[in-house]
Chains A and B, each alone.
Chain A
Amino acid sequence: KAGVTQTPRYLIKTRGQQVTLSCSPISGHRSVSWYQQTPGQGLQFLFEYFSETQRNKGNFPGRFSGRQFSNSRSEMNVSTLELGDSALYLCASSLDRGVNTIYFGEGSWLTVV
């Protein structure tokens, strides 16, 4: 069974631009969550989606947004990119919102110049 797939894997953007990252969860998984990983802050929770609804959001500015489609695929968007947004963005999926094992994608490496 295919794992969590994230695209693109690597991208370089300029300050002020916007970016959209995509995540395809494991088939049958309905919960998708997003995380930001930086050397300084480590892993931080961005948001969680279940049944096309955002259920939780971490402490990030409104420039960070996302959505989930009816097939559970999810996208996250960052607008007006800042240098500090350079990070590894990880998506994870699980069966549902209960106490389940989480499966991570390989991540999208974003560099803002």
Chain B
Amino acid sequence: KNEVEQSPQNLTAQEGEFITINCSYSVGISALHWLQQHPGGGIVSLFMLSSGKKKHGRLIATINIQEKHSSLHITASHPRDSAVYICAVRSGDYKLTFGKGTLLTVNP
């Protein structure tokens, strides 16, 4: 079993839909990162969380430390949101462990 599990693996939505991507982890962490990767390779850090909730534009990220679970929400999705979303956890020894990613496709 992977230390970081993401669901779903693939997600197709219509423009305007509300999207949720989930991440569960099994190790103790100091922080959780949500990353976005577009075709071509470049990775952008969306959020870094150690507790609670953060919001940036149409994106919201939450984390429940007790339940070892985090969610990334996208409100009013747009085709430009199409990308791979990756959850990564930083353990106490500063190593990053990654989920397999969620491929999101938003159709116009």
Binding site for B on A (CB under 8 A): 33, 35, 37, 42-45, 48, 55-56, 58, 88, 90, 92, 97, 99-104, 106-107, 109
Contact = CB atoms under 8 A, between A and B. Distances in A.
Contacts of A109: 41
A33 to B, nearest CB: 7
Contacts of A45: 95-98
Contacts of B97: 45
B84 to A, nearest CB: 10
Interface in B36-61: 40-45, 48, 50
A48 B94 contact: yes
Interface string B4-47: 00000000000000000000000000110101000011111100
Contacts, number: 53
A104 B86 contact: no
Given A56-B93, A99-B30, A104 B44 contact: yes
A23 B98 CA distance: 21
Nearest to B40: A106
Interface of A is mostly: strand
Interface in B59-81: none
B88 interface: yes
Nearest to B49: A99
B81 to A, nearest CB: 19
Contacts of A35: 96, 98
B41 A99 contact: no
A103 B88 CA distance: 13
